[in-house]
Amino acid sequence: MATTRKPAAGAKPATAQKAAAVKKPAAAAPAAAAPAGPAEGDMAPAFTLHASGSRTISSASLGGQPYLLYFYPKADTPGCTKQACGIQEALPALGRTGLTVIGVSPDPMGPIEKFAKKYGLDFPLASDADHKVAEAYGVWVEKSMYGRTYMGMERSSFLVGADGRVVKVWRKVKPEEHAAAVLAAAKALG
């Protein structure tokens, strides 16, 4: 024959204990950190990268002229193709503003050259295989997909003025809207 225990005097029944545990206030989530990398008005980090068409592109060689440094995750993927082709279509108008465009991905040069040739991309596509430039710009970030976390390139762009200062920053860029946003900002440079 089973015996039942009586709760000690003053003790709450188990269901009341569970309910009390649920009602405890949750700890406040820590505030999100500001993105790393340069902000608008900061000097743009220096860089030298190998680029498509057997070019080497550097911030020093661009001294005195505005440029767009746009970071994309992977050559010849749907979003990156849409973004690059949008920039290519806008290139004549961007050129009239005096803006040089440089795309940067963590891919090695082989896939970048194939991507540029396949889509007729005339502007330099640079390789940042060691992601040092991406880290300097704060776009080498932790990402997650299908429950897996990994480090990768955040789709972001930096418009740099002729004085070497960052004029505009776009984070988590939407590929289909990118070219129009850049063109509007480049025209505003004067």
Cα 173–Cα 171–Cα 125 angle in degrees, nearest 5: 65
Q: What share of the chain is helix, strand, coil (3-state, %, to 5)?
A: 30, 25, 45
Tokens found for residue 161: 């003025």
Beta-strand pair 156-160/140-145 = unpaired
Q: What is the pTM of this model?
A: 0.79
d(CA 65, CA 46): 14
- Whether the pLDDT of residue 171 is over 60: the answer is yes
Residue-wise pLDDT tens digits, 57-90:
999 999 889 999 999 999 999 899 999 999 999 9
Among candidate residues 62, 69, 80, 179, the one labeled active-site is 80
The 3-state DSSP class for residue 110 equals helix
Residue-wise pLDDT tens digits, 104-153:
999 999 999 999 999 999 999 999 999 999 999 999 988 888 888 878 89
d(CA 27, CA 23): 12
Residue 160 CB: number of other CB atoms within 10 A? Answer: 24
Q: Would you call 80 a catalytic residue per the annotation?
A: yes
Q: What domains sit in the chain, N to C, each tagged with a CATH number?
A: 48-188 (3.40.30.10)
Tokens found for residue 84: 């690059």
74, 107 contact by CB (below 8 A): yes
**What is the Cα gyration radius of the chain?**
25
d(CA 43, CA 88): 27
